[in-house]
Amino acid sequence: MLSKRETECLSWFANGKTAWETAQILDISESTVIFHIENAKKKLGATNITHAVAISVTKGWVAVDLTKDSELDE
């Protein structure tokens, strides 16, 4: 089971934010965001951040905002 902060960090990554941007949003340091992401990866058995996000989305722990405009739509 992921902690609240691990889930929050993965959620921001899932929606396109970087570690720095996530840190600004959550008012924590960038290294703390990376710490939480690394813990989440270990707990999920993920090989990278994208894999961790995919597992979290599949399990319903993280939502992706599909209503945002995509650069690919231009």
Confidence of residue 54 (pLDDT cuts 50, 70, 90): very high
Examine residue 16 and state whether it is found in any structural domain, yes or no: yes
Examine residue 68 and state whether it is found in any structural domain, yes or no: no
**What's the mean per-residue pLDDT of the chain?**
92
Examine residue 71 and state whether it is found in any structural domain, yes or no: no
Residue (of 59, 19, 20, 17) closest to 37 by Cα position: 19
Examine residue 8 and state whether it is found in any structural domain, yes or no: yes
Given this model, what pLDDT does residue 69 score? 59
Examine residue 70 and state whether it is found in any structural domain, yes or no: no
Domain span at residue 13 reads: 4-63
User: Which CATH number belongs to the domain containing residue 12 in this structure?
Assistant: 1.10.10.10
| Count of the separate structural domains present in the chain | 1
Confidence of residue 14 (pLDDT cuts 50, 70, 90): very high
Q: What is the DSSP string of the chain?
A: ---HHHHHHHHHHHTT--HHHHHHHHTS-HHHHHHHHHHHHHHHT-SSHHHHHHHHHHTTSS---TTSPPGGG-
Given this model, what pLDDT does residue 68 score? 67
Examine residue 72 and state whether it is found in any structural domain, yes or no: no
Asked whether the predicted pLDDT for residue 72 surpasses 60, the reply is no
Examine residue 46 and state whether it is found in any structural domain, yes or no: yes
